[in-house]
A = this chain, B = another copy of it.
Amino acid sequence: MEAFRSEPVPHAVPVVGMIGAGQLARMTHQAAIALGQSLRVLAAAPADPAALVCADVHLGTDLPAMRAFSRGCSAVTFDHEGVPQEHLRALVADGVPVHPGPEALLHAQDKLVMRRRLVELGVAVPQFAPVREPADVERFVADHGPAVLKAVRGGYDGRGVWMQPASVAELLASGTPLMVEQLVPLRRELTALVARSPFGQAAAWPVVETVQADGQCVQVLAPAPGLDDEVAAGAQHLALRIAVELGVTGLLAVELFERPDGRLVVNELAMRPHNSGHWTIEGSRTSQFEQHLRAVLDYPLGATTPTAPAVVMANVLGAAAPPNMELDERVHHLFARFPDVRVHLYGKVERPARKVGHVTVLGADMATVRERAVLAAEWLSTAVWSDGWSVHAPRGAGADAGAREVARA
């Protein structure tokens, strides 16, 4: 008996094509299935997270691959920012409905273009300057104080950001376009996530706090604890306004710094499902993944109502040293301790600091929810309970209320 590729869907349903087949595409496929669809993904490699679970997988990264992939798609969208502008423009010239379009997406690809545009719009951003020679950095630091060096294109998850501007000459010599940016004193980081459709409808989720480690988002608290209602509404309106001004179709994540005085400045923009929105799978009536599909297909958008007072997402990162327990066994133990924790694994090989999954916890009290989410994610990463909990400890020690709901036959 031969394995076979699926035939086309037997009735007219939209086909959304996603360029890139990482975990964002993987989770978008789950949302597409509910809408009667099957996400088509363009994978760079056969073992990409979405390629492992989708029925409609194309392989390739060049323009001919994108063209073949786009044929018959109702909308083409992205799970990363890495598609060159010339490819995007070629697809648009072919008549492919690309969402977000190249003009909008450029602002998520090029930090200098983004910063300059936001300044034009009167949006608060850190002081910045392009870097053409090492002296530009010295001048900037003399004028504005402590600074951070950033690659204008291609940075993510802490890559493309240098706190020590010692390597300017070397980076410039290697052809990396650079900018320098004021190191903003900050209380914490926030994200305002919104969606906008080609028709012009838009929807915003509650503003969340994002917690970073080594430049990567590792926890998301929804809603951002203690955030003033007016400030939160202001951040949502800012994100909606940026979406309109840049002509974004699909999701827009506006990463924000909250300064010690409470003022917000925009850090980065992303126009795709975003790590800060994973909590919406269980924590919002409509997940970011379904909303992105609805937006790029110009469907009416879904309600963004939270489903619990406190939701925390924690990323599962590959541990520094391989844990002394298989991932499957770690899942087993996690489920035994926390029957209510939601687990999402991406099918990725574990490597140090690599995002291989996430967990989500929902509840009434943010501190409790956060503690449980962090314990769960750390356990899956390392096979260590950081609170010292042991399955052999006396009853009650670290026992979980959820466990008592599960009867023993």
Contact = CB atoms under 8 A, between A and B. Distances in A.
Interface of A: 1-7, 9-14, 26-27, 29-30, 32-38, 46-47, 51-60, 64-65, 68-69, 196, 200-204, 240, 243-244, 285-286, 294, 299-305, 307-308, 326-328, 331-332, 335-336, 339-340, 342-350, 357, 362, 402, 405-409
B345 A1 contact: no
Contacts of A11: 327, 347-350
Most chain B beta-carbon neighbours within 10 Å: one of A52, A57, A58, A59: A52
A332 B203 contact: no
Nearest to A5: B3
A203 B406 contact: yes
Contacts of A357: 36
Nearest to A31: B30
A121 B278 CA distance: 47
A309 B50 CA distance: 35
Given A52-B38, A53-B38, A357-B36, A300 B335 contact: yes
A202 B65 contact: no
Given A1-B64, A302-B339, A303-B402, 8 more contacts: A1-B60, A3-B59, A36-B345, A52-B55, A202-B407, A300-B339, A301-B406, A302-B340
Contacts of A308: 307
A331 B55 contact: no
Nearest to A55: B53
B12 A328 contact: yes
A362 B302 CA distance: 14
Contacts of A301: 335, 339, 406
A34 B347 CA distance: 9
Nearest to A405: B303
> 8 tightest CB-CB pairs across the interface, nearest first?
A36-B345, A202-B409, A303-B340, A300-B335, A300-B336, A303-B339, A303-B402, A7-B46
A299 B9 CA distance: 34
A331 B29 contact: no
B204 A59 contact: no
Contacts of A3: 5, 56-59
27 contacts: A1-B68, A6-B53, A6-B57, A9-B347, A14-B328, A30-B30, A33-B53, A34-B343, A34-B344, A36-B327, A36-B345, A38-B53, A54-B55, A55-B55, A55-B57, A200-B408, A202-B406, A202-B408, A240-B407, A285-B340, A285-B342, A300-B335, A300-B339, A301-B335, A302-B340, A305-B340, A305-B402
Most chain B beta-carbon neighbours within 10 Å: one of A14, A196, A200, A303: A303
A244 B6 CA distance: 39
A331 to B, nearest CB: 7
Most chain B beta-carbon neighbours within 10 Å: one of A11, A59, A200: A11
Contacts of A32: 53
Contacts of A47: 6-7, 9-10
